[in-house]
Amino acid sequence: MYGYNSYLFEETLRQSTRLQSHRDARLLELARRRYNRAVLFGMLSRIWSALLGRPRRLAGLSAVAACVTGRYRAGAQTIAINRIAGSEGRSLDFDLAFRPLHNHSRERWLGIAMAYQQGAALPPADLVQVGDVYFVRDGHHRISGARALSQRYIEAVVTVWQSRLV
């Protein structure tokens, strides 16, 4: 009854590609706005914390390492982002709210935000738990992007460090 129409097929394919690229451009613009906002609030937070004399930096995991008495893998867990307060090696790149403090990782941040907005499954972050606090080993940008997109939880693989400080 109805035959294959190559013109209609190709036109449908062109329109679909155009819609996809329009959607991606819109998501990229949204990600850029969120990044710019995060950087602005990070800068304001630094100024405010300097005025009040209260540090807003992430705690360093190396400060805790000397007091570790044992370690074990706790496996995959869902962690509240607001319980993450430290970092291994990236304490100067993000503030306590995981807002980026420098522009050198902008493209990485935007890529993560785009992936979240598109519903992509990202690998879990790698966290170390010391008492009730979590430190990021890997996944700083994933946590920053998730927080900027108002996510409250993130998937993570957790290693627990037992410390005599806790």
Model pLDDT for residues 13-70, shown as the tens digit of each residue: 455 455 456 567 888 888 888 888 888 887 887 787 778 777 777 888 888 877 878 8
Percent of the chain with pLDDT over 70: 84
Residue 140 or residue 17, greater confidence: 140
**Given this model, what pLDDT does residue 75 score?**
93
**Given this model, what pLDDT does residue 16 score?**
47
Within 10 Å of residue 56's Cβ, how many Cβ atoms? Answer: 16
**Given this model, what pLDDT does residue 14 score?**
55
pTM of the entire predicted model: 0.76
Percent of the chain with pLDDT over 90: 28
- Tokens encoding 147: 């927080």
pLDDT at 76 over 90: yes
Q: Which residues contact 142 (CB under 8 A, 6 or more apart)?
A: 112, 122, 123, 125, 154
d(CA 143, CA 153): 9
- For residue 119, CA distances in Å to 38, 105, 149 come to 21, 22, 12
Mean pLDDT, the chain, whole residue set: 82
Would you say 112 and 98 are in contact if contact means Cβ atoms under 8 Å apart?
Answer: no
Confidence of residue 165 (pLDDT cuts 50, 70, 90): low
Collapsing DSSP to helix, strand or coil, 73 comes out as: strand
